[in-house]
Structure 1
Amino acid sequence: MIRLSAYIESIGLLGPGLNGWAEAREVLAGRAPYVAARTVIPAPASLPPAERRRTGAGVKLALAVGLEAAAASGRAAATLATVFAASGGDGQNCHVICETLASEERELSPTRFHNSVHNAPAGYWSIATRAMAPSNVLCAYDGSFAAGLLESLCQVAVDGVPTLLLCFDTDYPAPMRDVRPIPDAFGVAMVLAPEPGVRTLARIEAQLSGAPASVLAAAQLEQMRVDNPAARALPLLDALARQRPASVVLDYLQDVQLQIDVTMPNGAGESAP
C-alpha cells in the first residue's frame, strides 16, 4: 500500500470559538475550556483596498488561516506552493446570485461572478502575497480536507517543495442551508515540508483505510467536526495539539477513509502519560 509522508511546520486555524492555532491547541489538548462563539473572520489587510472591499467570507477565511500558517513557518508566503480545498464556494455570494437570477433584474455584477468561481481564493491569495508558485484548487464534497491533504502530500513527495494546504468552508443562508446545513465558517491551513526543520511540529504518514473516521471525545468539538467539511481535520489537529504519537482516520470518500499516523520530532511526547 502506498504511503505518503511529510513534516508539518505550522498551522493556521479559525472556527467557532477557535481564534487562531495558539488558542485552539489549548482547547483541543484539554488545557483550556471550549467556549462556543461565532467564527470571527478578520478583514484581509494584505489585500489592496479595492480588492479588500470585493472579498467574501470564503476568501477572507482562506487568507486569514493561510497567512497565519505561513508566518508561523518562517517561510515567505509567496514562495510556497499552495493547495486550496473547499466543499463549495462562497455561500453568501451564491445566494445573492440566485436571488438576482430569480428576479426581474437579472444583470449580474462582474464582481459577484468572479467571486463565484471555485478558484477565487487562490486568485486573491496571489494578489495578497504576490505568489507565483504552483497552485491547485480542488473539491471533494465532505472529503475535501482529506483530498487536499493527499494532494499536498503528493506535491511534497514529487516536487520536493514546501506546500501550504488551505481548507475552508463557510455557512449558507436559507434556503440553501436546508440542503447544505453548514452552520458556521471553519478554516485550517498547514505548511508541509519534505524534510524536518527547526519548526517541525510532527511527521505525518498517510495511507488509505477502510476504518471508520475518528471521533472527538468532546461533544461540542465532535459536533463541529460533523457540521463543517473543513472541520473534518479536527482529529488530526487534536493529535497535533496534544503532541503525542497517534493514528487518526479522516473522512474521505464513501467507502475509503484516510489514515494519518502522527509522530513527534526527536521522539517528543513518547513518554507523556
Structure 2
Amino acid sequence: MIISINGIGCWGEGLHGWRETKAILQGEAQHDRTSLKLPPPESLPANERRRASQVIRLAILCAEEACQQAGCHAGELPAIFASSNGDGYIINRILNSLASPAGAVSPSLFHNSVHNAPAGYWMISHKSHQPAVSLGLYDETLSAALLKAAAEAYAEEKPVLFCIYDAPIPGSLGAIRRTGSSFGCAFILTPAPGPMCQLALSLKEGQCADDPFTSLPESLADMARHNPAAQILPLLQAIAQGQDHSFSLPYGANHLTIDLTHAHP
C-alpha cells in the first residue's frame, strides 16, 4: 500500500512547528527541550479555547499546520486522532478530586477526559461533519493509527488527516507510565503521488529488534524512546533530510515496515 504525505505539522517541547523541527532534524539548529509554547488555537470559539487543555492544543496545532501546508480545507477531511496516554493531566486532576473529601469533579474536566476530546474540539473549531476516529493502543498506537489512516486514504481515494500526540502524565500514574515530554505530529495523507514523499506500508511477521532512534540527536532520541507518539521522529528526520529510508515499528506479534521515498524531478 503506497500513499503520499502532502502536509506536515509538528509541535512539542523545543519543537514549535514543522519549520523549526525540520531545521533541528537537519542539524541546522539546536533542540531546546525546556521550551514549550502551545498557543490556544485561534480557530476555536472563545469558550472552547478557554477550556482546551495542553493536549487538545497540541493535537489541534499539529493538525492545523498540516492542513495549511497541504492547502486543504480542514473541515472537509476525515481524520484519525491517536494517543497512547490520552490526557493524563486531566485524568490525574479527576483522580485527585475523587480522592478529596468533597469528591466533586468539574464538568469541564470530565468532558476533556475522554479519549476523543481533541477530535471533538477539532470538529467544533472547523465545523466539520466528516468522520473522525480516535485510537489508543498503548505503545503500538503509532503503528495502528498510521496503518488505519493510510488504508482509509487508499481505499476511499481521498485525503485523510492523521494526527498523533502524547504528553507526560503527572502523579502516581506518571510514575508507572513514564512519558518524558510532550510531542505531536500530523500528516495529510493522499492516495495519489504528491510533491513531497511517498510511504509504502506493509505488515510483516515477527517482532522488530533494531533501535530506530540511533540516528537522532540525543535529546530527540530520548524523546522518541519515552513518548509513544515521538516514535515517528526517525521518519520525520528522513523527510527533513530528503533521504529515502526504511524502518519498522512494533505491532503485536508482527511489525509495520515503512519505506519512505522522495519525489524526484
Letter in 2 for 1:241: A
Which residue of the other structure, out of 156, 171, 188, is the alignment partner of 1:174?
171
Q: Indicate the larger mover: 21-30 or 76-85.
A: 21-30
Letter in 2 for 1:232: Q
What does 1:107-186 correspond to in 2, within 5 Å? 107-186=104-183
User: How far off is 1:63 after superposition?
Assistant: 0.6
Q: Indicate the larger mover: 153-162 or 106-115.
A: 106-115
Q: Indicate the larger mover: 162-171 or 201-210.
A: 201-210
SS in 2 for 1:52: helix
Check conservation: 1:39, 1:184, Cα contact below 8 A: no
What does 1:184-203 correspond to in 2, within 5 Å? 184-197=181-194, 200-203=195-198
SS in 2 for 1:175: helix
Check conservation: 1:39, 1:186, Cα contact below 8 A: no
User: How far off is 1:118 after superposition?
Assistant: 0.5
TM-superposition CA deviations, 1:201-240 (whole Å, max 9, x none): 1010011244335123222211110111110111111111
Segments of structure 1 that go 5 or more residues without pairing to the other structure are: 269-273
Q: Does 1:206 align with 2:201?
A: yes
1:102 alignment partner in structure 2: 99
Q: Does 1:215 align with 2:210?
A: no
Distance 1:166 1:119 in 2: 12
1:231 alignment partner in structure 2: 230
Segments of structure 2 that go 5 or more residues without pairing to the other structure are: none
Distance 2:38 2:181 in 1: 11
User: How far off is 1:254 after superposition?
Assistant: 4.6
TM-score after normalising by structure 2:
0.94
TM-score after normalising by structure 1:
0.91
User: How far off is 1:31 after superposition?
Assistant: 2.7
Distance 2:228 2:35 in 1: 17
Distance 1:254 1:178 in 2: 25
TM-superposition CA deviations, 1:93-146 (whole Å, max 9, x none): 111100111112122222111111101111100011111112111111112112
Q: Does 1:89 align with 2:79?
A: no
Which residue of the other structure, out of 72, 76, 90, is the alignment partner of 1:79?
76
2:257 alignment partner in structure 1: 259
Q: Give the number of equivalent residue pairs.
A: 261
Check conservation: 2:180, 2:223, Cα contact below 8 A: no
Backbone CA RMSD of aligned residues: 1.4
Q: Does 1:245 align with 2:244?
A: yes
1:18 alignment partner in structure 2: 15
Distance 2:151 2:241 in 1: 26
Distance 1:34 1:107 in 2: 41
Matched residues, percent identical?
Answer: 35
